[in-house]
C-alpha cells in the first residue's frame, strides 16, 4: 500500500466530489467556491478546467453523455464540451445566500443523491437536507435536519447506504431499497474521534471497505463494514475533503483537498493544499454510478 502523492497541484480553494469517468478514463472533481469543474487524464497528465456560474458541490456523469452538476441552487445539466449549464431541477424554496449544494453521488439505479449545507456554518445547524434526483427530473427531499450533508455511498450488495453529516462526527448507515430508492432505519456505524478530524466525503471499495476523508485530520481512514478502523492513509494536506477510486483497474485512490481558510503559517507548511493526490491502496473500487436521466 502506497501513501498519497500529489498528481495535480490544483490549488483548489475547496476541492471536492471526485468521480472517475470510465469512458473518458479521466478523474473529474470540483472546486466548490472556486466554481470550477476539473478533469485529469492520467495517461498524459492533461488537466482541463471549466468555470461554472455558481458554487458547485458535486458532479455526476450522465449515461447518455455530459454531466449533471449540483450547483448552489439545485441540479443543472452540462452537455460537454462547449455548452453552457442549464437548470434541470432547482431547490424550492431557492437557497442562494443561505444554503448551497454540497457532496453527492449516483446510486446504481441511476439516481443522483446530494445534500445541502449553509454558507455560514454558525447558521447551519440542521438547516440542510439530503435530496434525491430521479431520472425523470423529480426531486425528493429524503432527509431533513442535516447540518453539513457530506459523503455517501452504497455497499457492494446495494442494500445499505452510508451517509455523513459532518458535525455529528459519525458515519451513519441506512437500509436501502434499490427498487424504490427509499431509506430507513438510520443508525451509527462509526463515531470518529474529534482528534482524528471531521468526517467528510467517502467511498466504498469492492470489498465493502469504507474510505472516509478527514477534514482537519490530514488523513483518509478505511473502516470495515462492521465499523472497525482497518488502516490510515496520511495526506500532506490537513483539509482532506473526499476520495474516489479510479484508473483502468479501479485500483487507484484519488484524494481531494482544500486550501481555504488556512492561516499563513499553515499554508506555508502545506504548499500543495488544494491539490489532487493519488495512491494505490491494494484494493479496488467500483464503477461510478451514471445518472440515467
Which is catalytic among the residues 73, 103, 200, 205? Answer: 200
Task: Respond yes or no: is residue 177 known to be catalytic.
Answer: no
Of 83-92, 203-212, 239-248, least confident by mean pLDDT is: 83-92
For 247-275, what is each residue's pLDDT tens digit?
Answer: 999 999 999 999 999 999 999 999 999 99
d(Cα 163, Cα 153) in Å, to the nearest integer?
7
Do 227 and 218 form a contact (C-beta atoms < 8 A)?
no
d(CA 83, CA 89): 18
Choices 2.120.10.30, 2.60.120.10, 2.40.70.10, 3.40.640.10: CATH for 5-291: 2.120.10.30
The mean pLDDT of 59-67, rounded to a whole number, is: 96
d(CA 71, CA 50): 14
For the entire predicted model, the pTM comes to 0.96
Amino acid at each position: 500500500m502506497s501513501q498519497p502523492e500529489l498528481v495535480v497541484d490544483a490549488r483548489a480553494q475547496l476541492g471536492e466530489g471526485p468521480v472517475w469517468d470510465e469512458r473518458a478514463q479521466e478523474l473529474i472533481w470540483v472546486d466548490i467556491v472556486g466554481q470550477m469543474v476539473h478533469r485529469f487524464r492520467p495517461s498524459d497528465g492533461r488537466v482541463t478546467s471549466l468555470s461554472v456560474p455558481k458554487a458547485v458541490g458535486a458532479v455526476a456523469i450522465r449515461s447518455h453523455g455530459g454531466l449533471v452538476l449540483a450547483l448552489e441552487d439545485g441540479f443543472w445539466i452540462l452537455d460537454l464540451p462547449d455548452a453552457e449549464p442549464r437548470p434541470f431541477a432547482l431547490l424550492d424554496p431557492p437557497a442562494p445566500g443561505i444554503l448551497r449544494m454540497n457532496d453527492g453521488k449516483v446510486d446504481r439505479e441511476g439516481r443522483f443523491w446530494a445534500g445541502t449545507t449553509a454558507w455560514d456554518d454558525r447558521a447551519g445547524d440542521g438547516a440542510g437536507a439530503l435530496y434525491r434526483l430521479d431520472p425523470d427530473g423529480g426531486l425528493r427531499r429524503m432527509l431533513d435536519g442535516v447540518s453539513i450533508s457530506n459523503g455517501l455511498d452504497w455497499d457492494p450488495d446495494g442494500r445499505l447506504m452510508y451517509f455523513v453529516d459532518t458535525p455529528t462526527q459519525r458515519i451513519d448507515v441506512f437500509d436501502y431499497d434499490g427498487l424504490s430508492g427509499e431509506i430507513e432505519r438510520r443508525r451509527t456505524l462509526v463515531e470518529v474521534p474529534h482528534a482524528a478530524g471531521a468526517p467528510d466525503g467517502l467511498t466504498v471499495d469492492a470489498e465493502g471497505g469504507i474510505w472516509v476523508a478527514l477534514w482537519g485530520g490530514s488523513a483518509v481512514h478505511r473502516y470495515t463494514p462492521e465499523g472497525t478502523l482497518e488502516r490510515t492513509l496520511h495526506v500532506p494536506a490537513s483539509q482532506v475533503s473526499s476520495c474516489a477510486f479510479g484508473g483502468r483497474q479501479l485500483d487507484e485512490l484519488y484524494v481531494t483537498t482544500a486550501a481555504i481558510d488556512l492561516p499563513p503559517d499553515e499554508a506555508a507548511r502545506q504548499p500543495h493544499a488544494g491539490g489532487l493526490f493519488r495512491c494505490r491502496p491494494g484494493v479496488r473500487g467500483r464503477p461510478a454510478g451514471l445518472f440515467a436521466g
